Structure 1
Amino acid sequence: MTTLINANFEQRVVIQPTDYEWVGSTAPGVERIRLDRIGDEVARATSIVRFAPNSTFPSHNHDGGEEFLVLEGVFSDEYQDYPKGSYVRNPIGTSHSPNIGKEGATILVKLHQFDQYDTEKKIIYTQNTPWQQGLIDGLRVMSLHEFQGEHIALVKWAPNTQFKSHTHWGGEEIFVLEGTFYDEHGRYPKGTWLRSPHMSQHTPFTKEDGALIYVKVGHL
């Protein structure tokens, strides 16, 4: 039977660090939190994956593409090292063999979610990339990728910033990287993952600690 985890994309989902359930993978020293999943070992999936120091993962093909953001440590494969903050897109048909060093690594990764025509390979070292002014004072934006109606960015929220109510055409997905993010539905500390369906609405804001978020829209 196919594994289904948060597979109804018409439902809003919130997973906070207190909800984390680490599950072992097929490789020793590699475990993951399955945020959403349709499929078994090969799946359309969004996960947090934690690699122990000096762990490896078998060579594999990205039949549906791979997108990841390094949350902690240094992720490595046969091509290069990707330190914390690296954003990587490996298009459909690429492959690699993760080989992690002494620091270990934790990544947010999305598999089998590429459009077949979205073929750009991309590596962005976000720690060294300049920020752009957002739509309002208190917001800074770093665009990571755009294809047709899909947009991916990091957004830095200054403390006590209020944004207007808005509708998510094509849905919205957020991962809180630093600080605490808020809207009228709740409070989302560092490590929280939110997925909001097509045409959902909210009015986001921050308080005294501000926030840094990964945000993806237009893909659901």
Structure 2
Amino acid sequence: MDRCQPCRVGPQDQHWQAAPQAPIRRWQLEREAPESGQVTSLVEYLPGARFPVHRHPAGEEILVLEGVFSDDSGNYAAGSYLRSPAGSEHAPFSEPGCLIFVKLNQFAGDDQATVRLAAGSANSVTFCTGVSGTLLHRHGCEQTWLLDCETGAELRWQGASAGELLLLSGRLTEAGQTHCAHSWLRDTRLGELGLRAAEPSRLLLKFGALRGLQEDPEQ
């Protein structure tokens, strides 16, 4: 997995695989190894699915996209954002089923924050012209945002350009290419690409956090 190389993954590239431990399906967007290392995935829990207790060697980050995700700490509806630091453990499950975006083993070494944010629990601010959003997490140069873009808004920001985004709804255009919901983009120049919303769009944006780049953590 070379994070210096740009990556674009869309719904047309779906490759769902059954997890060996539970009635769960995973679509791995990037990974170092099948069951270890740094992994970024979409994960679907079928109704009633339960996953065995497991530890997070270098942290776990989750955004709930659909349904209700649950673990020892509570129940989290769509829009909830969770961070579990290195060394934490849980036994996740979902009674109604859910779809989540998961990043495993990608925390900065000194980031020990536990985060449990319910949907709509944080204030929205202006991110750039035509784009508002909620800052979900900040650590050093790393920032994670949930953003809402007006039609025609261009996605740009100051600071670290390297980043990734998951398009939750709507459409983004990039140099004549259109990205639709559940498209995932990673690029060392993400903030300079001139991504533009073709319609009202919502996305998860992370920048300053591509672990493994030579220039990390400054990027």
Whether the TM-score (by the shorter chain) exceeds 0.5 is yes
Structure 1 residue 160: Cα displacement: 2.0
Among candidates 210, 213, 219, match of residue 209 of structure 2:
219
1:58 aligned onto 2:49: no
Preserved contact between residue 164 and residue 186 of structure 2 (Cα < 8 Å): yes
Structure 1 residue 10: Cα displacement: 1.1
Structure 1 residue 200: Cα displacement: 7.4
- Counterpart amino acid of 2:170? G
Among candidates 24, 27, 42, match of residue 33 of structure 1:
27
Partner secondary structure for residue 120 of structure 2: helix
Paired position in structure 2 for 1:72: 66
Cα deviation, 1:16-35, whole Å, max 9, x if unaligned, reads 11111001112231110010
Preserved contact between residue 167 and residue 202 of structure 1 (Cα < 8 Å): no
Preserved contact between residue 168 and residue 199 of structure 1 (Cα < 8 Å): no
Cα deviation, 1:168-214, whole Å, max 9, x if unaligned, reads 8361100001111122252110110001126873012112x221110
Measured on the aligned residues, the alpha-carbon RMSD in Å equals: 1.8
- Counterpart amino acid of 1:120? A
Structure 1 residue 87: Cα displacement: 0.4
Q: Distance in 2 between matches of 1:77 and 1:181?
A: 33
| Runs of at least 5 residues in structure 1 that lack an aligned partner in the other structure | 1-6
Paired position in structure 2 for 1:98: 92
CA spacing shift, 1:163–1:173, aligned 2, 3 Å: closer
Work out the percentage of aligned pairs sharing the same amino acid. Answer: 28
Q: Distance in 1 between matches of 2:166 and 2:200?
A: 14
What is the TM-score normalised by the length of structure 1? 0.89
Q: Distance in 1 between matches of 2:154 and 2:94?
A: 40
Runs of 4+ aligned residues of structure 1 deviating over 3 Å after TM superposition are 166-170, 198-201
1:144 aligned onto 2:136: yes
Partner secondary structure for residue 120 of structure 1: coil
- Counterpart amino acid of 2:37? A
CA spacing shift, 1:140–1:147, aligned 2, 3 Å: same
State how many pairs are aligned.
Answer: 210
1:195 aligned onto 2:186: yes
Q: Distance in 1 between matches of 2:207 and 2:6?
A: 14
Paired position in structure 2 for 1:129: 122
Cα deviation, 1:75-96, whole Å, max 9, x if unaligned, reads 0112210110000000011100
